Structure 1
Amino acid sequence: MAVVVLGGGPQSKDGSLPEWTKRRCDAVAELYKCCKGKNQKLRIVTTSAGTAHTPSVIDSEGFPVTEASASAQYLIRAGVDAKHIVQEAQAWDTIGNAWFTRVMHSDIRGWRRLLVVTSDFHLNRTKAIFEWVFALPPAQRLRFVGISDEGIEIAEERGKREAKSLEGVKQNAQTLKTMESLHEWLYTKHGAYAAAVRVERLPPSERKIYNG
């Protein structure tokens, strides 16, 4: 089985992950330790290049830091063996997380059971997206875990944005029913991946809902 832990927006200026992403990673690290004790093989997929809505994080030497790599390093410090982690560092949104996780990892490795871990405020849209993408032939089995976002300042505001975006996901899932049609849509219509479309850039005053 593979566990997919979703990124949650760019890490803070000091390089630390947002609190909601830490909680996701902490839950995955505990699951990993439990499975390791039972001699079960568990692979972990950390996800995302970043978010297309806000600037990327740059380290002190001027290099970009992806959400996937930041989450991977956090998991390693928490006791996860690096050889059991693979990174999906191409996506700029949740649709991309599902697409790249599938075409880069699960289809190649033959994984047919995946557990997707995210926050409660992100769970409904995540389920809709992953169930859509992973139901396309050949279909794969999914389970989901929502991590509590109690006490997270931006959770309510992010939840409202997620609910609004969910409607678009449902509409696309009704019309894009093959991997080929989804591929065409991603690279001709989606602002984060299409050459001729520019994704929405949030003004600084609104970036707090993504930044930790």
Structure 2
Amino acid sequence: MLTDVLIVLGSPNNSEGVLSDTAISRLNCCVKHYEKDMLVLCTGGWGAHFNITEQAHAFCAKQYLITQGIPESAFLDFALSQHTVDDAVKTLAIISKLKNIRLTVITSDYHLKRVKLIFETILASYSMKFIGAKSNLDKKAYDFLIAHEEKAIRSITKNGLYY
């Protein structure tokens, strides 16, 4: 029997630990797809670009998911990552102890292509699917993030993935 693991990639929270709209959209996507007996892995540690609080972003994410009805017993250890490649590397360290699992990686729609490229490289031996939670960004912010993602993908394609 396969156990499904939902992996929610981190995104910003403010200096008081209040989750950003991007974080909330990813977490709500996790809630929507969660079913009894699934496991949940939250990513995100600290970094000037997304979390400067004393608590890891993953802790804030877990607390939100618990308020939405996901039981404490569903959570795996946190992947205390600082960026997307780190998400995959630290996720691998956690899930490598589990048997018969299937992964669902949840990120934002604009981030999906790069996440697939990274996770399919680092976690190549796992069965995975990917979900891009709809972002509610204005067109200018969305276009900026798409351009950033395309540049990052070109860099990975040209230089390889280092981890």
- TM-score per shorter chain, which class? 0.7 to 0.9
| Letter of the structure 2 residue corresponding to residue 20 of structure 1 | T
8 A Cα contact 2:103 2:129, kept in partner:
yes
- Who is 2:103 aligned against? 114
The answer (yes or no) to whether the contact 1:66–1:89 under 8 Å persists in 2 is: no
Among candidates 38, 43, 52, match of residue 42 of structure 1: 38
CA contact (8 A) 1:125 1:165 kept: yes
Partner of 2:20: 18
Per-residue Cα deviation, 1:88-142 (whole angstroms, up to 9, x for no partner): 3421110010011011x2111125410000111111100100011111xxx1111
2:66 paired with 1:79? no
Instruction: State whether structure 2 residue 91 is matched by structure 1 residue 101.
Output: yes
Is the Cα contact below 8 Å between 2:51 and 2:57 reproduced in 1?
no
CA contact (8 A) 2:14 2:50 kept: no
Q: Which whole-Å CA distance do the structure 2 matches of 1:111 and 1:127 have between them? A: 21
* Aligned pairs for 1:180-199 within 5 A: 185-186=162-163
| Deviates further, 71-80 or 106-115 | 106-115
Q: What SS does the corresponding residue of 1:117 show, helix, strand or coil?
A: strand
Range that drifts further, 108-117 or 145-154: 145-154
Q: 1:56 to 1:15 in 2, by over 3 A?
A: closer
Amino acid at match of 2:112: L
Q: Secondary structure at the match of 1:3?
A: strand
**What is the match of residue 27 of structure 1?**
29
User: TM-score, length-normalised on structure 1?
Assistant: 0.68
Alignment CA distance shift 1:71-1:79 (3 Å): same
Q: In 2 relative to 1, CA 161–83 (structure 1 residues): closer, same or farther, beyond 3 Å?
A: same
Structure 2 residue matching 1:2: 3-state secondary structure = strand
Counterpart position of 1:88: 78
RMSD of aligned residue pairs (Cα, Å): 2.0
CA distance in 2, matches of 1:170, 1:98: 17
Instruction: Letter of the 2:103 partner, please give it.
Output: L
**3-state SS of the aligned residue for 2:96?**
helix
Asked whether 1:166 is paired with 2:146, we answer no
1:154 to 134, 137, 141: 141
Aligned to 1:141: 127
TM-score normalised according to structure 2 size: 0.87
- Between the aligned partners of 1:67 and 1:111, the Cα distance in structure 2 is 28
> Which runs of no fewer than 5 residues in structure 1 stay unpaired?
59-63, 177-184, 187-212
Which secondary structure state, in structure 1, belongs to the residue aligned with residue 123 of structure 2?
helix
Whole-Å separation in 2 of the counterparts to 1:55 and 1:27: 20
Unaligned 5+ runs, structure 2: none
Give the ranges of 4+ consecutive aligned residues of structure 1 lying more than 6 Å apart after TM superposition.
none
The aligned residue for residue 57 of structure 1 is: 52
CA drift of 1:55 comes to: 7.1
The one-character-per-residue Cα deviations of 1:141-198 (angstroms, maximum 9, x if unpaired) are 110001111335733222211111112223454xx6xxxxxxxx53xxxxxxxxxxxx
Larger Rg: 1
